[in-house]
């Protein structure tokens, strides 16, 4: 398997790549959470485009007593990038991300930011990845790991969600870990580029004695609930509870609006002789 190869320089380079890609392709990233201990105070979140560059200066987040596994749905190529943004801009922890081995082999530089590989088609390799993940999390409450329990990209509307049991087995072996369901949704609203909406559900403490089947069933229901609620809120435009953590550079629509505004100001100036 491919191990993570975290280092400060590599992490900074990957962060710049991720930041540039997201600001180029999206209007903004918006986050809503329920469990207050999962995130830093809202006042610490970026409010302007300058503040949104959270990759260069990351303040210390809240103290955790157990490591955390974050489990979003997986519907888009950019999902992994979003996890990195959440780790650096919202959760402020040392992040790791489980990534499909064949894709990580193509883009190995992601190991610099904490990605490691898993091959679910090879039982022995999958066990090796599980052993490796246990070593990352056990006795390291400052760490957060992102895993897509669906294992592959699936449309948001497909039901029922089918999850692998890897998250539950990992949590059981770590012995004491918090599992947090999340939902991602990409939506075109009033801008040329889509907005991204993220909801962070209430976490559940999983202990070594908890049955993997029960944990997997709970997680599937929790992610489904987050997805369904997020879909209803976005389509109804109930967005006041979301905090914008990253803003894009804007599309040609914004450029046109700026040029039109400038032209109107110049026209008024000439009309009034000033």
Q: What is the pLDDT of residues 57-80, one digit of tens each?
A: 333 344 578 999 999 999 999 999
Q: What is the 3-state secondary structure (H, E, C) of 108-174?
A: HHHHHHCEEEECCCCHHHHHHHHHHHHHHHCCCCCEEEECCCCCCCCCCCCCCCCCCCHHHHHHHHH
- What pLDDT, on the 0 to 100 scale, is given for residue 257? 59
Return the pLDDT at 99. Answer: 97
Q: Which whole number is the average pLDDT over 103-116?
A: 97
- Answer yes or no: are the C-beta atoms of 69 and 167 closer than 8 Å: yes
Domain ranges of the chain: 8-271
pLDDT-wise least confident of 29-38, 160-169, 204-213, 260-269: 260-269
Q: In 3D, which of 2, 4, 31, 23 has the Cα closest to residue 145? A: 4
Note the pLDDT tens digit of each residue in 226-245.
999 999 999 999 999 999 99
Cα dihedral 63→64→69→73 (10° resolution): -50
**Of 26, 85, 83, residue with least CA distance to 55:** 85
Give 55's pLDDT tier (boundaries 50, 70, 90). very low
Q: What is the mean pLDDT of residues 140-147?
A: 97
Question: Which pLDDT score is estimated for 40?
Answer: 39
What is the residue-averaged pLDDT of the chain? 87
Residue of 61 and 146 predicted with greater confidence? 146
> Span 203-228, mean pLDDT?
96
- Contact indicator for 94, 144 with CB cutoff of 8 Å: yes
Those residues whose C-beta lies under 8 Å from the C-beta of residue 245, and which sit 6 or more positions away, are: 29, 30, 31, 45, 46, 52, 54, 85, 86, 89, 90
Distance CA 107, CA 87 (A): 20
How confident is the model at residue 249, as a pLDDT? 84
Contacts 24+ apart (CB under 8 A), 56-60: 56/12, 58/88, 58/92, 59/92, 60/92
Given the candidates 3.30.70, 3.40.1130, 1.10.1760, 3.40.1620, the CATH classification of the domain at 8-271 is 3.40.1130
- Separation of alpha carbons 198 and 243, rounded Å: 10
- In the predicted structure, residue 46 carries a pLDDT above the cut 70: no
Res 54 pLDDT > 60: no
Neighbouring C-beta atoms of residue 53, cutoff 10 Å: 16
- Please say if the pLDDT value at position 138 is more than 50: yes
169, pLDDT greater than 60:
yes
Q: What percent of the chain has pLDDT over 70?
A: 81
| CA distances in angstroms from 101 to 13, 149, 170, 223, 226, listed in the order given | 21, 15, 18, 24, 28
> C-alpha distances in angstroms, 261 versus 16, 250, 251?
32, 16, 16
pLDDT, position 259? 57
- CB-neighbour burial class of residue 237 (10 A; exposed 0-12, middle 13-18, buried 19+): exposed
Q: 243-247 and 68-72 as β-strands: parallel, antiparallel, unpaired?
A: unpaired
């Amino acid at each position: 398997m491919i191990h993570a190869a975290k280092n400060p320089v590599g992490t900074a380079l990957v962060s710049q790549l991720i930041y540039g890609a997201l600001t180029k392709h999206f209007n903004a990233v918006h986050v809503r959470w329920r469990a207050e201990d999962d995130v830093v105070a809202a006042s610490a979140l970026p409010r302007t485009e300058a503040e949104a560059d959270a990759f260069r200066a990351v303040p210390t987040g809240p103290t955790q007593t157990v490591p955390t596994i974050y489990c979003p749905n997986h519907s888009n190529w950019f999902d992994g990038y979003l996890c990195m943004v959440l780790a650096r801009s919202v959760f402020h922890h040392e992040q790791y991300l489980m990534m499909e081995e064949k894709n990580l082999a193509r883009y190995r530089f992601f190991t610099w930011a904490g990605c490691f590989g898993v091959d679910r088609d090879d039982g022995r390799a999958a066990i090796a990845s599980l052993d490796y993940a246990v070593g990352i999390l056990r006795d390291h409450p400052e760490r957060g790991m992102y895993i897509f329990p669906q294992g592959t990209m699936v449309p948001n509307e497909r039901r029922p969600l089918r999850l692998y049991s890897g998250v539950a087995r990992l949590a059981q072996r770590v012995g004491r870990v918090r599992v947090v369901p999340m939902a991602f949704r990409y939506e075109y609203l009033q801008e040329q580029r889509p907005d991204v909406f993220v909801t962070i559900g209430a976490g559940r403490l999983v202990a070594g004695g908890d049955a993997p089947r029960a944990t997997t069933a709970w997680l599937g229901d929790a992610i489904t609930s987050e997805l369904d609620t997020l879909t209803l809120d976005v389509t109804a435009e109930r967005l006041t509870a979301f905090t914008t953590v990253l803003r894009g550079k804007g599309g040609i629509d914004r450029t046109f609006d700026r040029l039109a505004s400038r032209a109107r100001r110049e026209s008024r100036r000439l009309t009034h002789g000033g």
